[in-house]
Amino acid sequence: MNQYIKAFEDLKRGAASADVPWVRRLRGEAMASFIEKGFPTTRDEAWRYTDPTAIRDAAFIFETGAATLSQGQIEKLNRERVGNRIMFLNGRYVREVSSLPENVEVVDLRKALATNPEIEMHCGAHADFKQNAFVALNTAFLGEGVLIRIPEGTVLEVPLRLVFVADPASEDSIFQPRVLILAGKRSGGTLVEHYCAANLKGYFTNIVSEIVLGEGASFRHCKIQNENANAFHIASTWVSQEKGSQFSSWALSTGSRLMRNDCHVGLAKEEASCVLSGLYLGDGDQHLDQHTFIDHRSPAGKSRQFFKGLMAGKSRGVFGGKVLVRQGAVQTDAMQTNKNLLLSDEARVDTQPQLEIDTDDVKCSHGAAVGQLQEDALFYLRARGIGERDAGRMLARGFAQEVIDTAGEGLFKKELEELVSRKLEAQFSQS
C-alpha cells in the first residue's frame, strides 16, 4: 500500500502537476477511495472466492525506464500480425510498432487527457472506482493507454487488435494501462485485446477499459488473456450502451497465476443488447475468476451469457455473474449459463449466478452446473482404442467447442481454437 501512496505523491509533484484540473480531481478522488478501502479481502462478498492478498503483499513498483523493443522483436511482431494493431509494451502505448487504421482516431491517452476536454464525460464515468479498489488504483495513476474514437457511421473492415506485451525488467512491476473506446452512432467493427508475455518474470497487469457504444453501434470484442504463469491479471471492462446498440464479447482466459476478469455492461437505453461468452481453462495452481455484471436500466434490453470452465491440476475456477433488472426496465430478456468441468480431484469450482429483479414484466433465467467427463462417453472412446488421456481431451475439446462456436466465423475464431487446443494439451499432460 505504502509504495502506491509514495508513487502517487511523487507523481503529483512531478509529471502530474501539469494535469488539467478535472484529471487532477479524478485522480485525487480515486486515490482517496483506494486508500480508504484498501485491497479487497475474501470477506468482501464480490471477492469471496478470490483472495488478492498475494497482490497486496507483493511490493509492486512502477517501471521508470521506458522499455524498448529490440529491432529483432519489432521485426518478429511485424511478421506475426497482419492488420491493424495497437501495441503496448509493459503497459505503455508504443506508437512506432503500431499500425493504425486510417478512419479511426487513436491517441495516446495522456495527450488526449490534456487536450481533449470532451472525454471528461466518459473517462472515469463508466468504470466505478468507488466500488472496485483495483479500478481506483488504475484511475489514480491515469495516464498510460489510448483513446480510440470510431467516428459516426464508420465500420472497421479489419479487426483492430490491441496487443499488450509484458517484458518486465524486474520481478515486481505493475502495469496499469487504460483504454477508452468511443464508438459513434451506427459504427461497427471488431476489437481484439491480447495479453501475452515475452519472458517468465512475474508482474501485475491492472487494466481498465471503458467502451461507450453510440446509438445503433455494433461491436464485437474478444479478449485473449495469455499472460505468463507468474503474472497477476486484474482486468475490468465497462461498457455503456446507447439505444439499439449491440455488443458481443468473447473472453478466453488461459494464462496468469491469478486472474480476475470483470465485465460490466450497462444497457443504458432501450433495445440495447449484449452477448457475453467465454472460456476459462486452468491447470497447475492457477486461479481464474470470471465475473460479469449486466445492468438492465432501460426497457426491452436483451442479454445473453454463456461461460464455461475447465479446471485441471490444483487450479480453481470462479464464476460470478449478476443480472440486475431495474424498475422500469420492462420487457427485459436475460439468460445466463455457466458450466464447468473438473478434470482432476484437486481442482475446484465455485460459481455464483445471480438474478436481481425489480420489475415484473421480464423473462430471466440462469443455469449453472459443475460436473465431470462422462464415464460412458470415455468408455465409448476407449473401447475404440483411444487412450484415456486422448479420450478425455477429445471430450473436453467438444465441451469447449460449444462456446467457441458462438464466436461466429471471424478472424479470431481460428486463433481461439488453436489456443484452446494448446491449453487442453497442457491440462491433460498433467492430470
Contacting positions for another protein (CB under 8 A): 45, 48-49, 327-328, 330, 340, 342-372
CB of 362 to another protein, least distance (A): 6
Choice between 95 and 363, CB closer to another protein: 363
Between CA 232 and CA 241, with CA 236 as vertex, the angle to 5 degrees is 165
Reported in sequence order, the residue ranges of 82-177 that DSSP labels E, i.e. its strands, are 84-89, 92-99, 105-108, 145-150, 160-166, 173-175
CA atoms within 13 A on the CB side of 55: 27
Give, for 282, the enclosing helix (H) or strand (E). strand 273-282
Angstrom distance (rounded) from CA 40 to CA 53: 8
Distance CA 392, CA 372 (A): 10
Instruction: Return the number of the residue (80 or 345) whose C-beta is nearest another protein.
Output: 345
Supply the minimum distance, in Å, between the C-beta of residue 245 and another protein.
Answer: 25
State in angstroms the smallest separation of the CB of 349 from another protein: 5
Whole-number minimum distance, CB 234 to another protein, in Å? 22
Q: How far is CA 337 from CA 252, 323, 343, 416, in A?
A: 16, 12, 20, 20
**Contact (Cβ atoms closer than 8 angstroms) between residue 189 and residue 159:** yes
Q: Which of 74/330 has CB closer to another protein?
A: 330
Residue with cell 518486465: 168
Which of 364/381 has CB closer to another protein? 364
Residue 235: strand, helix, or coil? strand
**Separation between Cα atoms, residue 212 and residue 245, nearest integer Å:** 10
The cell numbers describing 155, all together, are: 465500420
For another protein, which is the closer residue by CB, 147 or 396? Answer: 396
Q: Which is nearer to another protein, 138 or 338 (CB)?
A: 338
- In the complex, least distance from residue 156 CB atom to another protein, rounded to whole angstroms: 37
Closest to 270 in 3D by CA, of 304, 303, 241: 241
Residue 202 sits at φ, ψ, to 5 deg, of -75, 150
Per-residue cell: 418: 488453436
**In the complex with another protein, which residue's Cβ is closer, 230 or 431?**
431
**For another protein, which is the closer residue by CB, 152 or 358?**
358
Residue 311 in contact with residue 348, Cβ under 8 Å?
yes
Buried b (16+ CB within 10 A) or exposed e, 213-222: bbbbbbbbbb
Closer Cβ to another protein, 101 or 321, answer by number:
321
The angle at the Cα of 290, spanning 289 to 291, to the nearest 5 degrees, equals 115
- Helices 2-13 and 133-140 cross at an angle (nearest 10°) of 30
Beta carbon nearer to another protein, 345 or 409: 345
Rounded to an integer, what distance in angstroms lies between the CA atom of residue 220 and that of residue 230? 30
Least distance (Å) from another protein to the CB of residue 373? 8
CB of 322 to another protein, least distance (A): 9
CB 360 to another protein: min, Å:
4
Q: Provide, rounded to whole angstroms, the least separation between the CB of residue 388 and another protein.
A: 14
* CA–CA gap between residue 148 and residue 109 (Å, rounded): 9
How many Å apart are CA 249 and CA 192, to the nearest integer?
A: 10
Closest approach of Cβ 316 to another protein, in Å?
A: 9
**Minimum distance from residue 353 beta carbon to another protein (Å):** 7
